Amino acid sequence: MIVSSTLLAIWVFIKTVLIVSFAWIVAKILLIVLPLLFMVAYLTFLERKVIGYMQSRIGPNRIGPFGLLQPIADVIKLLTKEIIIPTPSNRYLFIIAPMISIGTAFAAWAVIPFSKTWVLANINAGVLYILAISSLGVYGVMIAGWASNSKYALFGALRAAAQSISYEIAMGFALVGVMMAAGSLNLQTIVNAQNGNIFHWYWLPLFPLFLVYWFSGVAETNRAPFDVAEGESELVAGFHVEYSGTGFALFFLAEYANMILISALMSVMFLGGWLSPFQGIPYLEGFFAWVPGIIWLLAKLSFFLFCYLWFRATFPRYRYDQIMRLGWKIFIPVTLVWIAVIAFAIQFKIAPWFSG
């Protein structure tokens, strides 16, 4: 009798601990996802404003001061629109596809280190996890294209899938270089390995990989100038032609969340993540010591996000065969060569990056 009641007490204790820890994890996830959603909303606004000014227009300026409430209005519009499911489509897959897109776009954020202590899952295989999850994103696109049962959607999906598979290889190799330099797959360790000053960050010793990862990232998210997957003039809108309302909104969210993710990864892998850019500079280091790490991460991330918009406003769209050539014949050989160079640098302990 006593034994069973103790067991029951233990069980209740375990259950509460589980529930509390579970609730704590969910709270932390919300702490990442909600600001991310906010960022996505205002990234669309920023995109329209930035491209507007680059093209001598004003951009959205009707709703709220300077048009600042425009994203809110867009969200309300998208959520209240009718969801149309085409009759000849594959109903279940048609509904699942946007969920896969958004799910993979958000899941990868679990391992991003926001500051010295702020990381949801500080796992050893962080880089591999990122690669694995982002390689799943292509399923959302392919399923959407096929389930819509529409020519344009299928063409868009095929283009998008071929493009992301091709550029994933170059991205993977670029990350191999980062892993070798840091000697770890843990993102937090990678950031710590870049400790020192701005020239210790990996953009300098891994400069070719930095460029390859950057442009592959743009191609991977199917953004201009690599946006053949949704080239308006050829395919109407690509794989999500048939989607309306919330389904379309989810694809849109996933695309922008992926853009922010790639920018965050660029900052973490090559620009020292949450490390201060004023490290190692005598006077300024102390002056900026109070700034939390996440601010630096956000600043670096914003730079890459701005470049996304800048590229879109300035470059004409690549032709499909040129995209394939760039990915397979230029980026992959460059990364392979530079991996060999890094291997030698690590073997001979070239200072200051690989002396440790």
Show the site string, 237-256: x = touches another protein by CB under 8 A, - = not. Answer: --------------------
Q: In angstroms, give the least distance from the CB of 144 to another protein.
A: 12
User: Does residue 340 bind another protein (CB under 8 A)?
Assistant: no
Nearer CB in complex with another protein: 10/34: 10
The answer to whether 129 touches 188, Cβ cutoff 8 Å, is no
Distant-in-sequence, close-in-space partners of 198: CB < 8 Å, separation ≥ 6: 272, 277, 279, 280
Nearer CB in complex with another protein: 60/103: 103
Of the residues 77, 151, 325, 349, which one makes contact with another protein according to CB under 8 A: 325
H/E element, 356: none
Q: In angstroms, give the least distance from the CB of 135 to another protein.
A: 3
Query: What six digits make up the tokens of 233?
Result: 């003039």
Interacting residues with another protein between 264 and 283 (CB under 8 A): none
User: Does residue 131 bind another protein (CB under 8 A)?
Assistant: yes
Nearer CB in complex with another protein: 44/164: 164
Q: In angstroms, give the least distance from the CB of 253 to another protein.
A: 21
Show the site string, 84-123: x = touches another protein by CB under 8 A, - = not. Answer: ------x--x-----------------------------x
Number of C-beta neighbours around residue 266 at 10 A: 21
The answer to whether 225 touches 315, Cβ cutoff 8 Å, is yes
Nearer CB in complex with another protein: 124/195: 124
Beta strand segments in 131-262, E: none
The answer to whether 88 touches 153, Cβ cutoff 8 Å, is no
Q: In angstroms, give the least distance from the CB of 59 to another protein.
A: 31
Query: What six digits make up the tokens of 287?
Result: 């002056």
Nearer CB in complex with another protein: 139/311: 139
Query: What six digits make up the tokens of 64?
Result: 């709220």
Q: In angstroms, give the least distance from the CB of 104 to another protein.
A: 10
User: Does residue 299 bind another protein (CB under 8 A)?
Assistant: no
The residue type of 147 is A
* Binding-site size, another protein (CB under 8 A): 29
Of the residues 41, 75, 128, 237, which one makes contact with another protein according to CB under 8 A: 128
* Cα–Cα distance list, 210 to 1, 128, 135, 314, 335 (Å): 66, 18, 20, 21, 10
Q: In angstroms, give the least distance from the CB of 162 to another protein.
A: 8
The answer to whether 64 touches 33, Cβ cutoff 8 Å, is no
**Which of 118, 110, 106, 44 minimizes the C-alpha distance to 297?**
118
User: Does residue 146 bind another protein (CB under 8 A)?
Assistant: yes
Interacting residues with another protein between 153 and 172 (CB under 8 A): 154, 158, 161-162, 165, 168
Nearer CB in complex with another protein: 121/291: 121
User: Does residue 136 bind another protein (CB under 8 A)?
Assistant: yes
Sort residue 349 into left (φ over 0), alpha (ψ -120 to 50) or beta.
left
Please tell me the distance from the alpha carbon of residue 135 to that of residue 154, in angstroms, as a whole number.
Answer: 19
The answer to whether 96 touches 143, Cβ cutoff 8 Å, is yes
Query: What six digits make up the tokens of 299?
Result: 């600043």
Q: Between 91-107 and 245-270, two packed helices, what is the crossing angle to 10 degrees?
A: 30
Q: By CB under 8 A, name the binding residues for another protein.
A: 14, 18, 90, 93, 123-125, 128-129, 131-133, 135-136, 138-139, 142-143, 146, 154, 158, 161-162, 165, 168, 185, 321-322, 325
